[in-house]
Amino acid sequence: MSYVSDFKWTPNMNVKELVEKLGLIGFQSVKLNNASNVIVKMKKNSAKIFLTFTSNMVTSGLRGFFAQLIKLKIADVIVTTVGGLEEDIMKATGEKFVIGRFESDDVELHEQGVNRVGNLLIKNESYMNFEDRVMPILKKLYKKKKRWAVSEMLREIGLMLKDENSILYQAAKNKVPIFCPAITDGALGFHLYLFQQKHPDFIIDVVKDFGNILFTTSQDEKKGVIALGGSISKHHAILCTLLHGGAEYAVYITTAHKTSGSMSGATTNEAKSWGKVKDDSDVSTVIGDATIMFPLVMIKSLEQLKEEKLLKK
């Protein structure tokens, strides 16, 4: 049994100490500490870790953190949406996103050729530059072979990038597969379509990639899921764990509420009803902004793993 403890600041407090103290305040801070403990258990028990996130998290500065986690061998499989992959390529090739305001005049932004993601701003020019960069990439892919599974294509693109903060680059370098089942749901999908109009034999095989993600794990292997937000990226990972007996560990961080009936709001306990998470699994659902919650959860886990010499260099 734990008791509520008054939170107090101490000089030189590290993130691990901070999150542990937050874990005795109550409410969501308890979930925050629990989530970190579950992630540590995933690594201690050699679970195959599926890290899923939506594209807006790559729009933000979490992009470099995701790349770092891949480099540190925390994530074994990545599942995400296409917008984040486009923006990963944009940032890897020099594009900068601006921090604006949630209360911006959106009509004025549209007239200026600026797109808003929350309080982050992306110029239309960045998408025009993306088109100029992606077409030569597609030509190289087509020259190499005509048919690609999505994850195979993404690995090949990652090998073309030379940015240490790139998710695609670090995943390709460290042999971590990236799955994006909705590859057409964005600018990259549009350019794939345009390219295919000129090259009808150029095929991106989504169905084959479903088989590829299934073969990333097995019934016998322990499985862990870290899902930030919801959407198809979260479901694609937990569907894979369902087909292999369910996950032993799961951490969800979301701003959505369980009463919505949505994939984003579905909790780790709800996942047990489907068999996506095992009945006796270690789980934690944290309600809150992932740009705040995830760094706290993950850095506390990293500090603990480093203390116990379980963090790979």
CA gyration radius, the chain: 20
Contact by Cβ (8 Å): 268, 285: yes
The answer to whether position 120 is within a domain reads no
Report whether pLDDT(313) > 70.
Answer: no
Report whether pLDDT(147) > 70.
Answer: yes
| Share of residues in the chain with pLDDT > 90 (%) | 93
Could you read off the pLDDT of 70-114 as tens digits, one per residue? 999 999 999 999 999 999 999 999 999 999 999 999 999 999 999
pLDDT at 1: 84
Q: Mind telling me the catalytic residues?
A: 276
The answer to whether position 307 is within a domain reads no
Could you read off the pLDDT of 196-228 as tens digits, one per residue? 999 999 999 999 999 999 999 999 999 999 999
The answer to whether position 190 is within a domain reads yes
CATH of the domain at 258: 3.40.910.10
The answer to whether position 17 is within a domain reads no
Q: Give the count of domains, the chain.
A: 1
Spatial separation of the C-alpha atoms in residues 31 and 267, rounded to whole Å: 12
The pTM (predicted TM-score) of the whole model is: 0.95
Where would I find the H helices in the chain? 15-22, 28-44, 56-59, 62-71, 82-92, 106-111, 124-144, 150-160, 167-173, 187-198, 206-214, 231-242, 268-274, 290-307
H/E element, 52:
strand 48-53
Domain that holds residue 215: 46-95+127-295
The answer to whether position 308 is within a domain reads no
Closest CA to 97 of 68, 125, 133, 136: 125
